[in-house]
């Protein structure tokens, strides 16, 4: 999978993509992530990328030309399955979206800053808009890092233990059951007997039961979906 990201703060994206699972995916050749500095497409001597908004009001808007020029250049090099704009005024990311996107070949992600991008960019170039939750971040970079991590770990071959991506919280709209490791007793706190029983059908049943109970208690909205 190839992921291109357009950003005004490329350094914010360096660290998350050079560690852990995303780094492993890149090293294995399963994911290629290329970051494009929007400033290089800025206008004039000052490389301007934002301007005040028509109609007045506080906050700058990202201008259409620098973004359009950057997107056009990238479009000339490859066909994108999806051009995604990271913005808080969009549907929130969930596991289903991550699953779908992990099957794509080429993805382009645009990250916004300030008041966001000129609406005409969204109208013309964007095929999908994603928020990562109901709160506001300074910019879309951290949100893009979250999205890329969620997608890349699902690419076949990225996670060694194939099973583990499938048993994640949310994969079946349920939270994960509690987990334990050694020691079996710590300061009087014991691991549930069933997990030490060796009775695997029973253990599976206990885990499903716990997953359901946890979901009911913490995220009942997931059960309604």
Which positions touch ligand 6GU (CB under 6 A)?
86-88, 131-133, 135-137, 139-140, 143
Q: Other C-beta atoms within 10 Å of 168: how many?
A: 16
Q: What is the smallest separation between the CB atom of 112 and ligand 6GU, expressed in angstroms? A: 6
Measured in degrees and rounded to the nearest 5, phi and psi for residue 131 equal -110, 155
Q: Which is nearer to ligand 6GU, 42 or 140 (CB)?
A: 140
Query: Nearer to ligand 6GU by C-beta: 30 or 137?
Result: 137
| Cα 20 to Cα 34: distance, rounded to the nearest angstrom | 17
2-7 and 32-37 beta bridge pairing = parallel
Whichever of 25 and 117 has its CB closer to ligand 6GU, that residue is: 117
d(CA 128, CA 154): 19
Quote the least distance from Cβ 95 to ligand 6GU, whole Å. 16
Whether the upstream peptide bond of residue 181 has omega within 30° of 0, thus cis, is no
Find the shortest distance in angstroms from Cβ 110 to ligand 6GU: 10
Q: How far is the CB of 195 from ligand 6GU (least distance, A)?
A: 37
Residue placing its CB nearer to ligand 6GU in the complex, 136 or 189:
136
> Quick check: helix, strand or coil at residue 82?
strand
């Amino acid at each position: 999978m190839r992921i291109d990201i357009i950003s005004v703060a490329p350094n914010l994206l360096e660290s998350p993509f050079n560690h852990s699972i995303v780094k492993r995916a890149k090293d294995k050749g399963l994911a290629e992530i290329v970051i494009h500095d929007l400033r290089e497409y800025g206008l004039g001597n000052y490389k301007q990328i934002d301007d005040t908004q028509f109609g007045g009001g506080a906050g700058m808007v990202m201008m259409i030309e620098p973004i359009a020029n950057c997107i056009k250049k990238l479009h000339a090099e490859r066909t994108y399955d999806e051009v995604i704009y990271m913005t808080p005024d969009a549907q929130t990311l969930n596991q289903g979206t991550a699953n779908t996107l992990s099957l794509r070949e080429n993805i382009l992600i645009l990250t916004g800053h300030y008041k966001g991008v000129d609406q005409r960019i969204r109208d013309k170039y964007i095929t999908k808009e994603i928020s990562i939750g109901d709160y506001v971040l300074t910019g879309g970079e951290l949100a893009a890092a979250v999205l890329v991590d969620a997608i890349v770990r699902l690419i076949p071959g990225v996670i060694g233990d194939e099973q583990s991506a499938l048993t994640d919280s949310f994969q079946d709209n349920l939270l994960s059951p509690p987990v334990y490791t050694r020691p079996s007793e710590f300061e009087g706190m014991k691991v549930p007997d069933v997990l030490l029983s060796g009775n695997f059908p029973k253990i599976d049943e206990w885990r499903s039961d716990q997953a359901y109970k946890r979901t009911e208690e913490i995220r009942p909205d997931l059960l309604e979906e």
